[in-house]
């Protein structure tokens, strides 16, 4: 037995630090199982597979901003770093794909941040969730986020911040449902914790209670409307068709 990151480094002829980074980013698999713990003890004959994220694609660009389709497996700040002279206007979780907006000048960034704070931004997501959703669900419970180490959010009526999520049924396959989600607020992990709180965690989201194995949490930011413009990211194959 040996620690996973050391075995990966040996097999792929990379540094231990690079091996840890790939595992932490959720890009390493042993068979069909995603490897989540770099220091996990594994048999020395374990065979690893690395699945690199898709390329970042630009949806729209002008003198004020850039809208991109962020693939799953890439941190929002990696997108910012890859496009010189831009600043994130909001963030998506690493596993979440879809529309990500970046500003290019101070005046526009100021106006955009104000619009986000005043909840004048429309956001539509698509997700597969556990269980059968057959009617609209409105969730208004407050969310408190703990940011020590890996961020974690929970419902907290006492100290949580207001959060509003609307869930609309779209498709059912067995005991899984595809849903459209509209949010008026942007709390950390809002969609994930709100859906989990009503018994419908996002498929593949083990942090918030999904028991279904998947390569990632099946959540996609499909559409964002900001300052009179609307941006749409095509729904990726793993969400367009669950199985």
- Per-residue pLDDT, 201: 98
| Residue 173, helix vs strand vs coil | strand
Residue 181: how many CB atoms within 10 A of its CB? 25
Confidence band for 240, pLDDT divided at 50, 70 and 90:
confident
Domains and CATH numbers, the chain: 2-50 (3.10.290.10), 57-240 (3.30.2350.10)
What whole-number distance in Å separates Cα of residue 121 and Cα of residue 102? 14
Q: For 174-236, list the strands marked E by DSSP.
A: 176-183, 219-226, 229-232
pLDDT tens-place string over residues 77-123: 999 999 999 999 999 999 999 999 999 999 999 999 999 999 999 99
For residue 30, the cross-strand partners are: 33, 48
Q: Which has the closest alpha carbon to 20: 31, 36, 32?
A: 36
Q: What is the mean pLDDT of the chain?
A: 94
The answer, yes or no, to whether residue 71 has pLDDT greater than 80, is yes
Annotation marks residue 93 as catalytic: yes
User: Given 32, 55, 93, 238, which residue is catalytic?
Assistant: 93
H/E run at residue 81:
helix 76-82
Residue 157 DSSP label: T
Residue 226: how many CB atoms within 10 A of its CB? 21
Residue 161 DSSP label: B
Calculate ∠ Cα 162-97-27, nearest 5°.
Answer: 115
- Per-residue pLDDT, 243: 67
- Per-residue pLDDT, 26: 84
pTM (two decimals):
0.85
């Amino acid at each position: 037995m040996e620690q996973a990151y050391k075995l990966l480094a040996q097999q792929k002829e990379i540094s231990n630090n690079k091996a840890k980074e790939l595992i932490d980013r959720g890009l390493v698999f042993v068979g069909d199982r995603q490897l989540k713990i770099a220091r996990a003890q594994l048999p020395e004959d374990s065979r690893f597979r690395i699945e690199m994220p898709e390329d970042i694609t630009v949806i729209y660009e002008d003198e004020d901003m850039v809208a991109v389709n962020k693939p799953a497996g890439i941190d929002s700040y990696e997108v910012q770093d890859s496009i010189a002279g831009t600043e994130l206007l909001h963030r998506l979780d690493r596993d979440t794909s879809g529309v990500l907006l970046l500003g290019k000048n101070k005046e526009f960034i100021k106006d955009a941040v104000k619009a986000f704070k005043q909840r004048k931004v429309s956001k539509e997501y698509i997700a597969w969730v556990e269980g059968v959703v057959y009617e609209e669900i409105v969730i208004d419970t407050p969310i408190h986020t703990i940011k020590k180490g890996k961020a974690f959010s929970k419902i907290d009526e006492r100290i949580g911040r207001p959060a509003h999520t609307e869930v609309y049924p779209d498709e059912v396959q067995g005991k899984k449902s595809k849903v459209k989600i509209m949010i008026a607020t942007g709390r950390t992990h809002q969609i994930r914790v709100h859906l989990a709180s009503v018994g419908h965690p996002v498929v593949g989201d083990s942090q918030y209670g999904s028991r279904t194995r998947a390569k990632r949490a099946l959540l996609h930011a499909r559409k964002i409307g900001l300052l009179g413009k609307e941006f749409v990211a095509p729904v990726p194959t793993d969400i367009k068709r669950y199985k």
